[in-house]
Structure 1
Amino acid sequence: MTAPELRKLQSHTHEAPEKHRRLRLLRRGLERDWIARTGCWSRVKRVLLTYDQMQAYGLPAAEGKRDDPRWPAFAQRYGFDVDQPVQWEVEALEPAELQRLVLEAVEAHIDRSQLARQLAVEQRQRRQLADFLRQFDGSGGW
């Protein structure tokens, strides 16, 4: 399902329980689709901006989406006004901190021995390419 189709589903589904069910199924489907399309991932782990991070970083709130099915539960859990949705954007983080958080989330999943082997292959390929290019003289000939 495309992003416009998702937005249409979100805005045109009127019955809340059915909407929640469809969105949960859609999210699971998007994760399965990502796995199928990439062909190299066995699972997807969402890395989100948490409420605790929002508090710790003092991120500014923006007006939230009134039709977000997650908002009422979030508002009740953290003491917000259900009728005044707010949201926080991960883009409000400093770029260096955002990079640190992403790398921290990915770090546990890196196979260091495989990474070392791949870096060695790339280094060998760079040397081979440099050696090949040195065969040319200044006039473009051999």
Structure 2
Amino acid sequence: MNSNRTRAAPRRNLGDFDASGADIERDWVARTDCWSHVERVLLTHDQVREYELPTAVGKVGDPRWAGFASRYGLDPGRPVQWEVETLDPAELQRLVLASIAPYIDQAVLRDRIAQEERQRRQLRAFVEGWPHRRPPGPE
């Protein structure tokens, strides 16, 4: 981790489960060198199996495919991938929120939401108090 950071910098990754996605994630972490820890939230091999997600045709000619296929016991001659958007939207939301929940200060969040509500009420009162004038044009 970069020594200039004073706070933890967790990274949560969401993406399709495929050879290129796994390598992009690895490359990003290696190049930036600023994350205290990295967790792949979506999609993982376990999630693909648990949710019985459908396969899509993978990128033919991807040089990373052979290693990916070997790692996960897939047919090296048939590139496949699994896409995040095949996951049920409600489950997608649940998984993402669960992954960030430990990093949310609920008291601060409640204060911010209350502040936004106050601002909405103030704006609504301002708009409702604005003089209603007819737009210029023929009478």
Give the TM-score range, shorter chain: 0.5 to 0.7
The SS at the match of 1:83 is coil
**Higher share in helix:** 1
Residues 1:53 and 2:54 aligned together: no
User: More relative contact order in 1 or in 2 (CA 8 Å, sep 6+)?
Assistant: 2
Partner of 1:67: 62
Taking a change above 3 Å as real, the CA distance of residues 111 and 68 of structure 1, as seen in their structure-2 partners, is farther
Cα distance in 1 for residues equivalent to 2:90 and 2:25: 32
TM-score, scaled relative to structure 1: 0.60
How far off its partner does 1:68 sit? Answer: 4.6
Name segments (4+ residues, structure 1) moved above 6 Å.
Answer: 41-44
Taking every aligned residue pair, what percent have the same amino acid on both sides? 48
Listed as ranges, the gaps of 5+ residues in structure 1 are 1-9, 11-19, 36-40
Any idea what the Cα deviations from partners look like across 1:5-28, whole Å, max 9, x if unmatched? xxxxx8xxxxxxxxx7xx677423
Q: TM (normalized to structure 2)?
A: 0.62
Structure 1 residues 45 and 64 mapped into 2: Cα distance closer, same or farther (>3 Å)?
Answer: same
- Give the structure with the larger strand fraction: 2
Query: Which residue pairs with 1:111 in the alignment?
Result: 105
In the alignment, the residues of structure 1 paired with residue 40 and residue 74 of structure 2 have an alpha-carbon distance, to the nearest angstrom, of: 24
CA RMSD of aligned residues (A): 3.3
> Following the alignment from structure 1 to structure 2, what is the Cα–Cα distance between the partners of residues 89 and 107?
24
**Number of aligned pairs?**
112
Could you list the runs of 5+ residues in structure 2 that have no partner in the other structure? Answer: 1-19, 135-139
Q: How big is each residue's C-alpha offset from its partner over 1:74-130, in whole Å with a ceiling of 9 and x where there is no partner?
A: 322332222222111111112222222222222222121111111111111112222
